[in-house]
Structure 1
């Protein structure tokens, strides 16, 4: 009752503001002006990251049904429009606004990516007989503690969900404890891993065994990597290093480090496509990391030797690279724990010694790369069953 009364007062104030010269974004979120068209599925994602992670599922559903995408940000809306899909800013959780939106779209399924809970939206969808689903659902311990103080709000919202795929086991357990029915559970999927898991493995190539990639390095990491490479090339003249800084603007400074060690060098920014034998390719460009992952058998994860939390291991894992990382992996702690446990990744420790071991035993390095890809595939999961379930929900009440 309090929420309903508050939202009615807020809506009246916002509509007055919109009439008195409010922004176009506010008018869109109030569903003033041109209404959306009808669609079988209303897909809501907060912004660019959520949309991108769910792209494969969105595309699959859009091939089967007309969809209407909404986001909370203009950049997210514009991204979806760039995919040639109908997109607009999400309606605010206000009674008149939602009535206008749902009356125009008339969805059979409302699908939320990752996690937003809006009491009025949940209730009006249920009253209209619209199935509700969530994919990649997240619920942190902190959020669960907050929602736990309002069981009469979160409980009914979760109870109305027909299908939910959690991003991880912890989120799933917390959602169940807050009131999600077990019948709604679908297999867990980490949406952000679906695109890497869909990449084909590069063909088997012995040439990758002698190529080291230092991926997305930061200041303070290039010197130790170059020192290790300089030591190793003395006994492995065929060895090559691809050094790809996180920020290509550091290219001149890194070129100075390479020259100071008297290492042969080529620069991608100057058009070079490969490292000279026994030398370094400075990959000082943007958007070409998949190219370098496919070239290298060994990948040093940047941001982990210096304290930057580490960068994603999943893209090199998708290409079957053996993974080497430093101690600073807080950004992907669970991922590296799993990869280490399965023999897919290895702490650098003595970087020169670790690289020497894998270069001397290429079969061991290849086995690490294969294990990395298996861990990725297992964690990503198969979205086929989830897509079929959502397709069924969108079709059941047609």
Structure 2
């Protein structure tokens, strides 16, 4: 083990008890955290027969985005995630595919894990760089590809700062970038091969299935999707002001982490009903809180306006604004979308930018102007169609 990786493993090992404790605590509202799953849920040879491709996704959002590629390779594929709720989502979507949570990132664990998989190729979605895991894969002659790869400015600085840890990984891996900017950073870091293929998120969004819910004669329906702390309070304030002009308004709130759903009752200023309580929304309901997983795109499709969560919380950096766009629903985005900067740059003419202070005015403008709502929706559909085809470009690079 080289010096940089040895020091990384040493520090990681010393910190591991604390890391596991913190992860256990912080994951309570996000699907939980199983230590046993990380140490003992290794696959057997019989489970992985004829499966030679491995795709790794960080969590639930990445699993959703990688869905079209997973579907293409499902007969040959093993899926891993970093989070338990990401693994649970993958199992829900692809019950026929073996799904595992990766072990702690120490060489003794990762060597054993990679050996148990016995794959030929590893596709890392975006840029989930776990030094020991990737080193184990490379040492065991697994071809490593970063697909729809992204390298933010902050990550670029981090990789340069700790270059001795990452150098051997970069020079042994192929980087298939989501944008030319990401590709340029990858070249500077010394990846073996770099090519721009586009953002897989554009392929991942499809027309959602109708959702089993009865709403009645309500207008407008405002959907706040993937919300985080502070954003539900903002949704409540906007709802109260809009209700003065639109007495039949319904606000649908879909928290990013369903474990927070029950607590939102005390935050939202009106009658709130949980999705798991009722599938028929009473006429006097102000807020319908969706405490289920996987239904967000279907609820976006019901909206007159969609507000993308994580974009009004600077600690988050945004969530997938393409999910409402595929249903031609006009989208309002807050000022914090660093994780979707490249997507935003491609669809900026089709979304409404806002701040916390202006979000009421922006939504009001859309509700008062039917032609504007329609025009933005059509714009969204057009851009989505133009950007598709990333899955096929990735498959071409990996398998030819």
Q: TM-score when scaled to structure 2?
A: 0.65
Q: Secondary structure at the match of 2:151?
A: coil
The verdict on how the C-alpha distance between 1:355 and 1:387 changes in structure 2, with shifts beyond 3 A counting, is same
Mapped partners of 1:87, 1:306: distance in 2: 31
User: Is the counterpart of residue 179 in structure 1 residue 190 in structure 2?
Assistant: yes
Q: 1:54-87: per-residue Cα shift (whole Å, max 9, x none)?
A: 2332232123x2x333444555555555533224
Mapped partners of 2:321, 2:5: distance in 1: 49
Q: 2:381 aligns with which of 373, 377, 394?
A: 373
Q: 1:228 aligns with which of 227, 242, 245?
A: 242
**Residue pairs, 1:5-16, within 5 angstroms:** 6=6
Mapped partners of 1:71, 1:385: distance in 2: 23
Unmatched segments (≥5 aa) in structure 1:
15-22, 234-239, 259-264, 394-398
Q: CA deviation at 1:291?
A: 4.5
Mapped partners of 2:38, 2:362: distance in 1: 56
Q: Is the 8 A contact 2:307 2:332 kept in 1?
A: yes
Mapped partners of 2:97, 2:135: distance in 1: 27
Q: 1:200-233: per-residue Cα shift (whole Å, max 9, x none)?
A: 699xxxx999634152562254244333342356
Mapped partners of 1:350, 1:365: distance in 2: 18
RMSD: 4.9
Hey, what does 2:252 align to over in structure 1? Answer: 244
Structure (1/2) with the larger helix percentage? 1
Hey, what does 1:189 align to over in structure 2? Answer: 199
Unmatched segments (≥5 aa) in structure 2:
15-34, 211-215, 226-230, 256-260
Q: 1:267-313: per-residue Cα shift (whole Å, max 9, x none)?
A: 9787574686xx86532443454444323333355677898977653
Mapped partners of 1:5, 1:298: distance in 2: 49
Q: 2:300 aligns with which of 272, 293, 296?
A: 293
Q: Is the 8 A contact 2:121 2:142 kept in 1?
A: yes
Hey, what does 1:139 align to over in structure 2? Answer: 151
User: Is the counterpart of residue 211 in structure 1 residue 226 in structure 2?
Assistant: no
Hey, what does 2:213 align to over in structure 1? Answer: none
Q: TM-score when scaled to structure 1?
A: 0.66
Mapped partners of 1:73, 1:269: distance in 2: 24
Structure with bigger gyration radius: 1
**Residue pairs, 1:11-160, within 5 angstroms:** 28=40, 37-38=48-49, 39-63=51-75, 65=76, 67-73=77-83, 76-77=86-87, 80-81=90-91, 83-90=95-102, 94=107, 98=111, 105-117=117-129, 129-149=141-161, 154-160=166-172
Q: CA deviation at 1:375?
A: 4.1
Mapped partners of 2:130, 2:313: distance in 1: 41
Mapped partners of 2:189, 2:84: distance in 1: 32
